Every structure is written in structure tokens, then in C-alpha cells.
Amino acid sequence: MADIKTFHLPDLGEGLPDATIVEWLVKEGATVRLDDPLVSMETAKAVVEVPSPYSGKLVKMHGGNGDVIITGAALAEFELDPKLPQRAEAQSTGHHHAPAGASAGAGSKAAHNGDKVVASDVGGELSSGDAKPTGGDAGTVVGAMQSSDAVHAEQAVSVGGVKAVPAVRALARKLGVDLARVAPSGAGGVVTMNDVKLAAAAGSAAAVPFPAGRGWRAAPGEGSASTQRAATPEPSSALRAPSPEGRREDQRTALSVAGKPVRTSPPAAHAVLGQPEQLKGMRRTMARVMAEAHAQIVATSIVDDADLHAWQPGNDITVRLLRALVTACKTVPALNAWFDGQNLTRTLHPHVDIGLAVDTEDGLFVPALRNADRLDAAGLRAAVNRARAEVMDRSIAPSELTGYTIMLSNFGMFAGRYATPVVVPPCVAILGAGKLHHATVPVLGGFEAHRVMPLSLTFDHRAATGGEAARFLKAVIDDLALPR
């Protein structure tokens, strides 16, 4: 009798409730080996290549390209081949997403070894030791791993000839290390965490920063205040923001970290006008997040104009907005905060991580500009360029789309003067910048035409007072009024 195993979609490491099938990499009825690429799945934040958890024949696919699969739902069925290698029992898990009742829940103790605890990505502990899984697939590791007390859910993938797990790539970006210049010490030529740390300490593999003015065009409303020049300033050596793993702009491709195309056609290519369309990927998550924010936040908006008449040539509008936002956060910390409505607590942050709204055809992304309060103008511009580029080619790490302390929307680069931008919990505030225009301003002895920037500040009135919000907006306006 054939041994049939059902593979349930695991949590792909982002805490999201579902994922969309981009492309099956194995045909139904074909034989696949353990850890061979099986399917590309798109979440709201990334395109992830899921490897096969078994060796054998793929007998059934529970969904086709474009279908949304709920985390924990059946994704595929396999007929195991006893002649091919299979994952040992001790190598299983770390993910526990089979249907309810299929296995012990998080928080249960190990039945036969009280000293051995296996971590679950949903929190608590999972049973381990000699306990046998019940009811089908009790959870599957995405990628093979060696037996140990630690459970890993990451697979080393090769990008540009460099093998590393996503966590190592994220560390390399943080430390400014070019992985292509790091000597790997891991099995099979895999770059490890220790390799990156040693290279950072020795300074032997510094990443190449984005080149100034090479292929980077400022978006409308982002360049010089007078000429909107396309070239971008070179970051200072001290605060230079490295590009991901040393990649230059002319080497960037629209591929996922697994080397697969993010999209083979525009998002609307298969849309049928006049018919309901299932929301997928980022748009699906955007709809959910916006509805939750609307239900939770007590949103209040105030608006005003910033007079830019004193600006000297060469000002970068987005960088000036970021700097003004940082200044206001230091002046009125109450808006650079997180608020917990259930426990009625707030957290005032000593640092400023700005969530910058980036519009794409797939929906709205909000990458975090980390430690914006410690970057100079050139460092801020490099960080903006890097974040936008990584969002557009979908190479941005999921961790870089969370954790910001305040938000900025520069919607005026398209159109509109004032708005009521949405605050996403746990943040307390978001600043929106409208379309620049000239206004008649009364001055001593007559009137002058000044260039002004409309500003809209939405804040959670549970966490901040109207006076705090008004003082925050005034601090933004005062900083934007400076010549440089």
C-alpha cells in the first residue's frame, strides 16, 4: 500500500495567515527529491521558494498558480519513495501548522525528556523526544537541517554564487558586509553568522555603497527644490548606507532571493473587468491591516502649510521631510511612540525608525528607515533609495517592513494637498506631505508668492493630546522653514 503524506503550508516566517501560489516548480505526477524546489509562494512581503519536505511522487496539488492557501491548510500530497532519502523523525519540525487536533499544541511539555524543549514559531514549546506525530503532517521544516536541540526553519539559498540563510544576509546588510567577499566556513560553502561578524570586525569585506547619480532618478517632488535634479548625493563615509550585499544598481534584477522572477506579467494582466477578483499578496494584507487600523485607532488629523520660501537650491524634499520628522520626534516624543490599546500602555522610543510609505502596483509597502536620527542628509537619501529599490524588486527582508516608530507618506509627489493618512498600530502618528504649490503670502508692505508644502498629521488621540500633536506639527514646519 502506497505511503501518502500530506504537506501543510507552514508559516513562512512572517506571521501571515496565508500565501499565494506563484508557480509550481514540479509537475503533478513527477518525482521530486527531498529539499528540491517545490513551489514559489508569495506573501505580502516576499516571494519564498518552498522546498519539498519528502522524496517521492507529487500525486496532488491543492491549488494552482494564483490560488490563496491558508497557513496550515493542505498544499500537496506525496507518495513516498522508500528508495530515496527521507527526512529523519528527529529532523522534523519547528513549524506546527497542521489542522486543529492533528498534533499537540504550543505550550505542551516534552513527554519523555523534560530537559529538551523545541521552540515553536507561534510561541511556547512543542513536544519532542520520542512522541510520534499524529493525524498527517504535524508540521514541516522549510529546508533540511542537521539533528540538534535547536530547530531551524531557514534554508541556505544561493544568490550571486553566495550561499547563506536569510538571517545571515540580513546581518550582512546591517553590518555593511559584502557576502561575495566573505570566506565561507559552513558545510557546502555556506556563509555563517560568525563569518560575517569576523569580516565586519576585520573590515575586509565592506559593501560597495550606491553610486551617486547612477541610474537613480528622484521621484517627482523628491529632487532639488529648484531643478529636481536626478543625481543623488554620495553618502558620507561615516554614515554611508550600503546596498544589499554590495549589489550595484546595474546588477539588480527582478528576482526573488531564490532566483525566481517575482512576476512574469503585470498584476492587472489577467484581471477581468466587471468580475470579482480575489485580493492576493500585498493588497490582501493591506485590506486587512487598514480595516484593523480603522477599527482600533481613534484618529484625529490636523493640517497646516510649511513655507519653503527660504530654501536654497539643492534641497532634497524627501530628505528635508525626514529630517523635520526626526526633529519633531525629539521635540515632542509623545508621537514617536507605540500604544497598546488593550493594556493601555505606551512606549516612547529613544530612536527614530521611520516607516516610509512606498506605492507599488501590488499595493502599499512601508519599509523602515532604521536610526534615521543618526543619519546625515546623504545617509538618509541612500537609505531611501535602497528601501525603494528593494521594495520594487521584492528583495526586501520581511523584518524591514515592521518595527518603525512613526510613519511618513509623501503622497504629494502624485497629487493632493491634504489628506487623512491612516495610522497603523502600534504607531501613534503619521505625517503626510501634499503637493507643493505657490501661495500668496502677506508680508510687510505687500504680498509675495511663496512656495509652500501642505502637511497633514494624523495621530491616535488615545495616546497623544491635541496640544502635543500641534506642537509636533509646528516643529516640523519650523525645521522645513530653514534654508538648508
Q: Please report the pLDDT score of residue 197 as a whole number.
A: 82
Binned at pLDDT 50, 70 and 90, residue 270 comes out as: low
What's the whole-number mean pLDDT along residues 247-264? 44
Q: Please report the pLDDT score of residue 135 as a whole number.
A: 41
C-alpha cell of 117?
524543549
Q: Is the pLDDT of residue 243 over 60?
A: no
Q: Is the pLDDT of residue 446 over 80?
A: yes
Q: Please report the pLDDT score of residue 163 as a whole number.
A: 77
Q: Please report the pLDDT score of residue 132 as a whole number.
A: 41
Instruction: Give percent of the chain with pLDDT exceeding 70.
Output: 69
Helix (H, G, I), strand (E, B) or coil at 396: coil
C-alpha cell of 128?
519532542
Q: Which of 62-66, 105-109, 212-216 has the highest mean pLDDT?
A: 62-66
Q: Is the pLDDT of residue 259 over 90?
A: no
Q: Is the pLDDT of residue 111 over 80?
A: no
Q: Please report the pLDDT score of residue 85 as a whole number.
A: 86
CB neighbour list of residue 178: distance below 8 Å, 6 or more residues apart: 172, 205, 206, 207, 208, 242, 245, 246
Q: Is the pLDDT of residue 77 over 80?
A: yes
Q: Please report the pLDDT score of residue 90 as a whole number.
A: 43
* Beta strand residue intervals within 329-428, DSSP E: 337-340, 345-348, 354-356, 358-360, 363-365, 368-369, 406-409
Instruction: Compute φ and ψ for 482, nearest 5 degrees.
Output: -70, 150
Q: Please report the pLDDT score of residue 339 as a whole number.
A: 96
Q: For the chain, what percentages of helix, strand and coil (3-state, to nearest 5) are there?
A: 20, 25, 55
Q: Please report the pLDDT score of residue 7 as a whole number.
A: 94
Q: Please report the pLDDT score of residue 364 as a whole number.
A: 86
Of residues 102 and 418, more confidence is placed in: 418
3-state secondary structure 279-290: CCHHHHHHHHHH
Q: How many helices (H) and strands (E) does the chain have?
A: 6, 23
What's the whole-number mean pLDDT along residues 209-215? 40
Separation of alpha carbons 238 and 379, rounded Å: 9
Residue with C-alpha cell 489542522? Answer: 99
Separation of alpha carbons 160 and 433, rounded Å: 39
Say if residues 171 and 196 touch (Cβ distance below 8 Å). yes
Say if residues 56 and 84 touch (Cβ distance below 8 Å). yes
The mean pLDDT of the chain is: 76
Q: Is the pLDDT of residue 264 over 80?
A: no
C-alpha cell of 345?
500602555
Of residues 98 and 156, more confidence is placed in: 156
Binned at pLDDT 50, 70 and 90, residue 478 comes out as: very high
Q: Is the pLDDT of residue 387 over 80?
A: yes
Helix (H, G, I), strand (E, B) or coil at 463: coil
Q: Please report the pLDDT score of residue 106 as a whole number.
A: 35
What's the whole-number mean pLDDT along residues 1-10? 86
Binned at pLDDT 50, 70 and 90, residue 14 comes out as: low
Q: Is the pLDDT of residue 82 over 90?
A: no
Cis status, amide bond into 426, omega within 30 of 0:
yes
Q: Is the pLDDT of residue 346 over 70?
A: yes
Separation of alpha carbons 226 and 202, rounded Å: 43
Say if residues 184 and 158 touch (Cβ distance below 8 Å). no
Instruction: Give percent of the chain with pLDDT exceeding 90.
Output: 42
CB neighbour list of residue 237: distance below 8 Å, 6 or more residues apart: none
Of residues 250 and 44, more confidence is placed in: 44
C-alpha cell of 399?
523584518
Binned at pLDDT 50, 70 and 90, residue 271 comes out as: low
DSSP-assigned letters across all residues of 218-268: PPTTSSBTTT--S--PPPPTTT--BPGGG--GGG--SB-TTS-BS-SS-TT
Closest CA to 168 of 152, 146, 150: 152
C-alpha cell of 335?
508621537
